[in-house]
Amino acid sequence: MAPHATGTPPSLSPSNSFSGSPITVLASSRAVVAGRITEATIVISTTTGKITTIFHSVLPASDFPPGTPYRDYTPHILLPGLVDAHVHLNEPGRTEWEGFWTGTRAAAFGGVTTVVDMPLNAIPPTTTVANLHEKVEAAQGKCWVDVGFYGGIIPGNADELLPLVDAGVRGFKGFLIDSGVPEFPAVSSNDISLALTALSSAPTTVMFHAEMIPPLSMSVGDVSHTSHPPNVPTGPLNTYQTFLDSRPPSFETYAISEVLSLAHLAPNLPLHIVHLSAIQAIPLLQEARRSGVKITAETCFHYLSLAAEGVEEGDTRHKCCPPIREQSNQHGLWAELKKEGTDGEDGVIKTVVSDHSPCTPDLKLLPEHVDISKSNTSVQEDTKEAEKGDFFAAWGGISSVGLGLSILWTEGQKRDVSIEDVVRWCCKNTAKQVGLGHRKGDLGVGYDGDICVFDDEGEFTVEHSSMLFRNKCSPYENRRLKGVVKETWLRGKRVFSRERGFAEKAGPAGDLLLEPRKHKA
């Protein structure tokens, strides 16, 4: 075996010399292996799709049997395929918003090889085993990357939760505030108690959209424009500051306090706060973790790259919940995120995800002055002029799946972020969070041969050709980003190339990840 090699070297017998090679070999002078950047030659079985050997040097093609598919990607970086653990694919039921085919192609474009689909916005939501089966049936043969599924916690479905674990969901999500869709209502404290009790010993993670209206607030979210004092909006409804005022940090801190007050019901169950926005919640989570509560948080690409001060009047592409907050808040999120993995420190924000939550452009109520394509504006012709640009009436969600790596790398260059940091936040920790840490999120022997070939010096402008999600409506349009995904490999097969496009003849190769979880996060 070559120096610094791990795993079993390929056999050099004559049987390996035919064109249907049993291995594929990818190499580069830079690869992130086991969390560290190094030279690497990675051997992947074409039978199992697993990594069988990693040599910690760049070996030439001549070291492998004749006919072995071999590519040296130097100087580009080989990364583990990203795991986006928070994506709304919306199929079936709202497939015109997004679907498995388009959403997973967009993911592959950005080096994402695994997405985990949220339980709401599809109809029916993933709140029962029967509904999960409908979702799985709708996904068959349409996925360009591997797809896992979350279950939902809603009032009255506590008896469905353990069966959903057995059926293979990778975690659960509940809302403490109106979700925006009637088929996925918010949960009460009693509902949370029932869910935590039911899942207390299960190998899963329970997650919360942590916004909750305090008993007395200056505003009450999306209904504030019809309220009377003191809940009246603070300004025009097409001004972003008015919307920001309506969902203050206290919404997040109050919700997180509620979750923490019930954590004792399941002391061994991992809890997770999705899309953390307000830095005021960080001390609460820090104290809880010091007290032994198993709770983590994620933040999103948009909270780390967009700021309230930069949102133009009426540009509802920026609306999401919790909202994009001020630049000073963004700095605080970065500071906490960078603690994760630092020697001697323990950050509460472990992961970065897209929370890709798309809709048709008409639901964004965009005004005429916002620069979007004619194909998008044409569907808004019947929108009432008074509603255009209304941050309260518009659908809340940011479209960004497949752009996250470049967004994070662009912003990270301003903050001394390393590629190893990105892999920890977007590959290793996200895989662990959803119970896939044994096969996803790292380059190692026995792991899936999921590889993102990343040009860390390349740049591109976000245009329709680089937004492969169904509806090209995103606040990142026309932004210049650094970092280009050159190729995406899924279990040893190239599914996307920046030069050649998708493996159309082969078709979608993604698996549905339905094996029951064995370990908690």
Give dist(CA 46, CA 39) in Å, integer: 22
**Predicted TM-score (pTM) of this structure:** 0.92
Give dist(CA 203, CA 195) in Å, integer: 14
Give long-range contacts, CB 8 A cutoff, 24+ apart: 224-231: 224/392, 225/390, 225/392
**pLDDT, one tens digit for every residue, the chain (521 residues):** 444 455 554 443 333 333 589 999 999 999 999 999 999 999 999 999 999 999 999 999 999 999 999 999 999 999 999 999 999 999 999 999 999 999 999 999 999 999 999 999 999 999 999 999 999 999 999 999 999 999 999 999 999 999 999 999 999 999 999 999 999 999 999 999 999 999 999 999 999 999 998 875 555 555 555 545 456 788 999 999 999 999 999 999 999 999 999 999 999 999 999 999 999 999 999 999 999 999 999 999 999 999 999 999 999 999 999 999 999 999 999 999 999 877 667 899 999 999 999 999 999 999 988 856 544 444 445 556 658 999 999 999 999 999 999 999 999 999 999 999 999 999 999 999 999 999 999 999 999 999 999 999 999 999 999 999 999 999 999 999 999 999 999 999 999 999 999 988 889 999 999 999 988 88
What would the two tokens of residue 476 be? 């990142």
Query: Phi first, then psi: what are they for 511, rounded to 5°?
Result: -100, 155
How distant, in Å, are the alpha carbons of 122, 303, 324, 381 from that of 366? 24, 21, 18, 11
Give dist(CA 471, CA 210) in Å, integer: 27
Give dist(CA 67, CA 173) in Å, integer: 48
